[in-house]
Amino acid sequence: MATLFSEPIPARAHAQRQQLRAKAVCSVTQGTQLLVFDPPLDDSGAQIPAGGVAVGETPFEAASREVREETGRGGPKPLRYLGSAVRINTEHAKHERRDFFYLAAPPDSPGTWDHPADGQRFRFRWVPLSHLNLD
């Protein structure tokens, strides 16, 4: 079940009342392609940069940090807020607010690259927006 929000302030207020975990999810594009990575420890399929919002950090700051940490590249600018969703999934114990952001990558970004993060090596690549198959 998901509740959608088009503005960040009502989404944050709702999440605080419900004591939900906050997560920033980042769609990074270059032209008509989306940046994805394949998780190194499983075969769950292509994913996009995302991660938790730290205490005292805004969702915007978390989105920029997550892109920088996970990709090993400076956070593309500008960061644009797309919306928020509250997701409650009791089966998988997920109770979180997800803030979605859009970032445009520099045109000189490489086609593929590897970057170590969280004790793992992530392989990044671009996928045409018309052929997405994301978890």
Segment 70-127, tens digit of pLDDT: 888 875 566 799 998 887 766 656 678 889 999 888 888 899 998 887 787 888 999 9
Q: Name the amino acid, one letter, at 1.
A: M
Structure confidence at residue 38 as a pLDDT band (50, 70, 90): confident
For residues 57 and 79, give the distance between their C-alpha atoms in angstroms, rounded to a whole number: 15
- Looking at residue 125, its pLDDT comes to 93
**Model-wide pTM > 0.75:** yes
Across the range 124-135, mean pLDDT stands at 78
Residue range 19-32, pLDDT digits in tens = 678 899 999 999 89
What is the CATH class of 2-106+113-119?
alpha beta
Q: Residue 9, class by beta-carbon neighbours within 10 Å (0-12 exposed, 13-18 middle, 19+ buried)?
A: exposed
Domain boundaries, the chain: 2-106+113-119
For residues 124 and 6, give the distance between their C-alpha atoms in angstroms, rounded to a whole number: 29
Look-up of token digits 């978890």: 135
- Asked if pLDDT for residue 15 goes beyond 80, the answer is no
